[in-house]
C-alpha cells in the first residue's frame, strides 16, 4: 500500500511511457544515466510521439472551438513562406536538431554536455557579434572550431556526473528549457499582436516538456527524433492546407 489512489481502468490502457512522463512532471529529477539508443528506447520514443500527437490534437480542437466563437488567429510567419524542398528540409530536420542542441543539449546537467553546448553557442555568437556572419568562410571556421572543442569536452568529461547544484534544482532547469523553447516561437507571429500569443505557444511549451523528458531519459537522439517527427507532421498539415486552399 502506498497510500496513493490508483485507477486500474486508466493504467490498463495508458502506455508506461505516458505514466512515466506524468510522474516525471510531478517530481522532475535528472536520472543517473540515459538508456541510450536501443530498440526499447526507440519504441518508447515513438509512444511519446503518440502522446505528443494526442495533446496537439486536443489543443487544435480547442483552437477550432475558439475560432468558431470569433477568435482570429494572428498571422504566422510560415503562412507567407514559399515552402520549397530546401526550406522544408530546414524546418523538418535542420531546425529541430539545432533547437534541441540549444534548448536541451545541456539539460542532463553533466559537465561535458553543458560545456559542449556553451562552446557551440560561443562559436555561433562570436561571428554574429563581430560581424563575421557576412563572411561564410570565417563563419564556417568558427563553427568548425566550436564543434572540435565541443567534441573534445564531451570526450574529456564523459564520465563526470551532473553538477550537484543542477541535480538539486533540476526542476527549475527543466521548466526553464521548456519556457525558453516556447518563448522563442513567439517570433513566428506578428510583433504587434496581443498578449494572447502566450496561449498560442502553449503547444511548444507542452512539446518542450515532452522533449525534455525524452532527452534526460533516453538521450539527445530521442528528443531530436521527437522534434523531427513533430515538425514533419505539422508542416505536412500546413502543406496540405495550402494545397487545398490554393
DSSP for 140-158, written as a single string: HHHHHHHHHHHHHHHHHTT
* CA atoms of 5 and 225, how far apart (whole Å): 34
- Angle at which helix 202-218 crosses helix 170-184, to 10 degrees, equals 140
Other residues' Cβ atoms within 10 Å of the Cβ of residue 219: 20
pLDDT higher than 80, residue 159: yes
Residues 171, 245 share a domain: yes
Q: Which grid coordinates belong to 107?
A: 539539460
User: Looking at 126, 161, 196, which one is the last position of a domain?
Assistant: 161
Arithmetic mean of pLDDT over the chain = 88
Percent of the chain exceeding pLDDT 70 equals 89
Q: Name the pLDDT band for 193 (thresholds 50, 70, 90).
A: low
Q: Which grid coordinates belong to 115?
A: 560545456
Question: Three-class SS string for 173-233?
Answer: HHHHHHHHHHHHHHHHECCCCCCCHHHHCHHHHHHHHHHHHHHHHHCHHHHHHHHHHHHHH
The answer to whether position 215 is within a domain reads yes
Q: Which residues are within 8 A (CB) of 56 and not within 5 positions of it... i.e. 6 or more apart?
A: 203, 206, 207, 230, 234
Overall number of domains in the chain? 2
The answer to whether position 57 is within a domain reads yes
Residues 208, 149 share a domain: no
User: Looking at 140, 161, 182, which one is the last position of a domain?
Assistant: 161
Residues 183, 209 share a domain: yes
**pTM of the predicted structure, to 2 decimals:** 0.90
The domain in which residue 117 lies consists of 110-161
Nearest C-alpha neighbor of 39 from the set 168, 222, 223, 226:
222
**What is the rounded average pLDDT of the residues 200-213?**
95
Amino acid at each position: 500500500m502506498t497510500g496513493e489512489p490508483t485507477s486500474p481502468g486508466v493504467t490498463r490502457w495508458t502506455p508506461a511511457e505516458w505514466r512515466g512522463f506524468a510522474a516525471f512532471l510531478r517530481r522532475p529529477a535528472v536520472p543517473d544515466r540515459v538508456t541510450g539508443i536501443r530498440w526499447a528506447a526507440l519504441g518508447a520514443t515513438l509512444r511519446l510521439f503518440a502522446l505528443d500527437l494526442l495533446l496537439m490534437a486536443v489543443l487544435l480542437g480547442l483552437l477550432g472551438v475558439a475560432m468558431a466563437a470569433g477568435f482570429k488567429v494572428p498571422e504566422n510567419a510560415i503562412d507567407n513562406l514559399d515552402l520549397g524542398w530546401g526550406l522544408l528540409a530546414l524546418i523538418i530536420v535542420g531546425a529541430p536538431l539545432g533547437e534541441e542542441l540549444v534548448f536541451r543539449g545541456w539539460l542532463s546537467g553533466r559537465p561535458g554536455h553543458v560545456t559542449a553546448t556553451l562552446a557551440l553557442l560561443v562559436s555561433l555568437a562570436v561571428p554574429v557579434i563581430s560581424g563575421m556572419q557576412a563572411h561564410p568562410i570565417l563563419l564556417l571556421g568558427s563553427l568548425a572550431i566550436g564543434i572540435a572543442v565541443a567534441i573534445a569536452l564531451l570526450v574529456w568529461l564523459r564520465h563526470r556526473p551532473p553538477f550537484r547544484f543542477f541535480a538539486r534544482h533540476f526542476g527549475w532547469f527543466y521548466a526553464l528549457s521548456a519556457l525558453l523553447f516556447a518563448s522563442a516561437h513567439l517570433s513566428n507571429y506578428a510583433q504587434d499582436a496581443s498578449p494572447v500569443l502566450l496561449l498560442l505557444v502553449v503547444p511548444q511549451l507542452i512539446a518542450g516538456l515532452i522533449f525534455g523528458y525524452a532527452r534526460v531519459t533516453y538521450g539527445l537522439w530521442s528528443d531530436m527524433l521527437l522534434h523531427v517527427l513533430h515538425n514533419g507532421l505539422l508542416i505536412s498539415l500546413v502543406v496540405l492546407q495550402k494545397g487545398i486552399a490554393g
